[in-house]
């Protein structure tokens, strides 16, 4: 298979982070500025350490607060080591990653346990959503990206040929072997890997004794509280105004993920974008964006993609069937809706 062009990374879930009482748009600099600088006071005199990097086609950031700055720095290093492991296993931008090798060769022996875990979760979400979530849409991405490079959209016949390669049931997963059971089938984990990366980074921070932290891997998770003792707050990007946000939500131990039609597009009107309906080979036409809060980044990430494809009615049912999950929906019309427990103003 052909890897996606590096010029168009999958940064489809860009959220604006709020660290203080100010609006989220103004708070982005407050998150990034301290990284690598001097110690900052946190709750009860905690010290801050932070770092930014790039993995899985997106910028990643981690901020940790601890009584001992050295411990905070070591925790951030451990978190980034986890992010690099996820990158080496699941990236479509590294030709020697396990995922790229699987797509090239059709089989992968002795897969990393992380890859097995994510593929098993993907299969569970595919079954629960009736196939709305499907990690084998990579042939459609390759088709649309190639057509865009040539200044056009794919033809109906090209879309249908690629669509026939898509079927989540063709991925056979065992602890010692992963196999693609149809020639031409290829996997993308860009609808689930970033959430998993957030989970792994948070676990690494907690293992070092950090109780207050914020992680942004394209999906966002937090531990404890922010500097002023309040909940970490995220501003959810307005899908039509890059520098604005449509809502804010406090992170109460849950992670947040957004799927939107705006970050990687194949047509100026956003009708054709990087999210594909596996049944049609085209992009769904119900939402501008879907934001999900869930108990883990992995679940929030997968749910936001599945709901985006499923549409409003089926999507609501998916959220209701997921304990602890809430969602914010922005329809193509611009109308905004949310589940009753969504922790933000709409």
Task: Identify whether 142 is part of a domain.
Answer: yes
Classify 109 as helix, strand or coil.
strand
Task: Identify whether 240 is part of a domain.
Answer: no
pLDDT of residue 28: 26
End-to-end alpha carbon distance in the chain: 42
Beta bridge partners of 338: 328
pLDDT band (50, 70, 90) for residue 49: very high
For residue 155, count other CB atoms closer than 10 A to its CB. Answer: 11
Helix ranges (H only) for 56-213 are 69-90, 98-105, 113-128, 138-149, 156-163, 193-207
- Whole-angstrom distance, CA of residue 116 vs CA of residue 111: 7
Task: Identify whether 259 is part of a domain.
Answer: no
Of the candidates 205, 202, 290, 218, the one whose C-alpha atom is nearest the C-alpha of residue 56 is 218
Mean of pLDDT values over 27-43: 35
Task: Identify whether 15 is part of a domain.
Answer: no
**Total domains present in the chain:** 1
For residue 111, count other CB atoms closer than 10 A to its CB. Answer: 21
**Are 292 and 326 spatial neighbours (Cβ–Cβ below 8 Å)?**
yes
- Whole-angstrom distance, CA of residue 324 vs CA of residue 339: 11
Using the predicted structure, report yes or no on whether residue 116 has a pLDDT greater than 60: yes
Using the predicted structure, report yes or no on whether residue 228 has a pLDDT greater than 90: no
Element at 317 (helix H, strand E): helix 312-320
**Are 229 and 222 spatial neighbours (Cβ–Cβ below 8 Å)?**
no
Domain that holds residue 138: 103-180
Which of these ranges, 38-52, 83-97, 300-314, has the smallest mean pLDDT? 38-52
* Higher per-residue confidence, 10 vs 172: 172
| pLDDT tens digits, one per residue of 137-190 | 999 999 999 999 999 999 999 999 999 999 999 999 999 999 999 999 999 999
Contacts of 29 (CB under 8 A, 6+ apart): none
pLDDT more than 90, % of the chain:
76
- Whole-angstrom distance, CA of residue 108 vs CA of residue 127: 23
pLDDT of residue 345: 63
Cα 144 → chain centroid: 21
Using the predicted structure, report yes or no on whether residue 25 has a pLDDT greater than 70: no
pLDDT band (50, 70, 90) for residue 27: very low
Residue 313 to residues 130, 285, 290: CA-CA distances in angstroms?
A: 14, 14, 13
8-state DSSP, 62: E
Task: Identify whether 320 is part of a domain.
Answer: no
This prediction has a pTM of: 0.86
| Strand 233-238 to 171-174 pairing | unpaired
Task: Identify whether 14 is part of a domain.
Answer: no
Task: Identify whether 135 is part of a domain.
Answer: yes
CATH of the domain at 155: 1.10.3980.10
Task: Identify whether 188 is part of a domain.
Answer: no
């Amino acid at each position: 298979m052909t890897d996606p062009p590096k010029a168009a990374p999958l940064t489809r879930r860009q959220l604006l982070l709020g660290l203080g009482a100010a609006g989220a748009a103004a708070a982005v600099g407050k998150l990034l500025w301290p990284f690598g600088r001097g110690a900052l006071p946190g709750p009860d005199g905690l010290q801050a350490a932070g770092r930014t990097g790039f993995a899985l086609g997106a910028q990643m950031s981690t901020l940790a607060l601890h009584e001992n700055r050295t411990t905070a720095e070591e925790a951030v290093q451990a978190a980034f080591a986890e992010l690099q492991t996820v990158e080496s296993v699941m990236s479509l931008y590294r030709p020697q990653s396990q995922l790229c090798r699987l797509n090239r060769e059709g089989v992968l022996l002795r897969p990393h346990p992380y890859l097995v875990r994510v593929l098993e979760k993907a299969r569970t979400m595919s079954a629960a959503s009736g196939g709305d979530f499907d990690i084998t849409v990579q042939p459609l991405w390759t088709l649309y990206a190639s057509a865009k490079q040539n200044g056009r959209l794919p033809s109906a016949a090209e879309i249908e040929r690629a669509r026939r390669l898509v079927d989540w049931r063709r991925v056979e997963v065992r602890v010692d072997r992963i196999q693609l059971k149809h020639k031409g089938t290829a996997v993308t984990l860009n609808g689930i890997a970033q959430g998993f990366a957030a989970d792994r980074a948070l676990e690494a921070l907690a293992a070092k004794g950090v109780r207050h932290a914020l992680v942004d891997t394209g999906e966002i998770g937090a531990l404890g509280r922010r500097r002023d003792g309040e909940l970490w707050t995220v501003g959810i990007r307005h899908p039509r105004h890059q520098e604005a946000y449509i809502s804010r939500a406090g992170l109460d131990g849950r992670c947040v993920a957004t799927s939107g039609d705006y970050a990687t597009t194949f047509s100026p009107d956003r009708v054709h974008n990087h999210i594909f309906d596996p049944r049609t080979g085209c992009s769904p036409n119900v939402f501008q964006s879907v934001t999900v809060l869930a108990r883990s980044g992995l679940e929030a990430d997968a749910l936001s993609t599945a709901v985006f494809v499923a549409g409003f009615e089926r999507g609501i049912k998916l959220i209701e069937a997921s304990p602890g999950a809430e969602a914010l929906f922005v329809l193509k019309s611009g109308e905004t809706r949310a589940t009753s427990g969504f922790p933000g103003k709409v």
